[in-house]
Chains A and B, each alone.
Chain A
């Protein structure tokens, strides 16, 4: 069964940095486009970043552009999200998600919680 496992979340002060990881298994990671999606407490889903199969193409939501950097290491079956200049409104559960061949996010991790607070 496809598995996506996020890690790296935690409590960080405003202005701080954090690096999230997403470890993929049970599928050919290098063949799939990947995303980060977040969900603030009690709020809806917000797409925040995309990376192509080889990592050459990346996109960001306006809310994180210039502060977050997505990357991947296909040799390690892993994707990352480097987050800097964190703000209180970045507090959320961060999911990694696989974009399937049917235009949907077909597999999701359980999420890793990021809390930005002093």
Chain B
């Protein structure tokens, strides 16, 4: 079964850049799009990146996404960190056996 592995937590200082990884356990990372969701406490998730590297309208360009075939992983990069970026972030992808799969989530702390 497909799994997506994320670090449990990351922290970085205000104004800096942080990268959150998402490693695909089986099948190629290129075989299905990766999405990233932000979830603040007590709220539902919202999309910050879809289709690997696309930003929905309203999401600032400080948020970007990439995939790396060599490490079979995807990354969410947030630059110019703000206190409002503090949240849980989830990657999500798909395969034909496990269907839609979320990563375990990463808690971002902005110092």
Q: Which residues of A contact B (CB under 8 A)?
A: 35, 37, 44-47, 50, 59, 61-62, 95, 100, 102-106, 108-111
Contacts and interface: CB of A to CB of B under 8 A. Distances in A.
Given A104-B35, A105-B35, A47 B101 contact: yes
A35 B100 contact: yes
Interface string B89-108: 01010100011111111000
7 A-B pairs closest in CB distance: A108-B44, A104-B50, A44-B105, A47-B100, A45-B102, A104-B35, A104-B47
A44 B6 CA distance: 11
A105 B45 contact: yes
Contacts of A108: 44-46
30 contacts: A35-B100, A37-B102, A44-B88, A44-B102, A44-B105, A45-B37, A45-B39, A45-B45, A45-B90, A45-B102, A47-B92, A47-B99, A47-B102, A50-B99, A50-B100, A61-B98, A61-B99, A62-B1, A95-B44, A102-B54, A102-B56, A104-B50, A104-B56, A105-B35, A105-B45, A105-B92, A106-B47, A106-B56, A108-B44, A109-B44
Given A50-B99, A102-B50, A105-B35, A44 B44 contact: no
B63 interface: no
Contacts of A100: 50
B98 to A, nearest CB: 8
Nearest to A62: B1
Given A102-B50, A104-B50, A111 B44 contact: yes
Contact of B47 (A44, A59, A61, A105): A105
Given A44-B103, A44-B105, A111-B44, 8 more contacts: A35-B100, A44-B88, A45-B90, A61-B99, A102-B54, A102-B56, A105-B35, A109-B44
A90 B36 CA distance: 25
B51 interface: yes
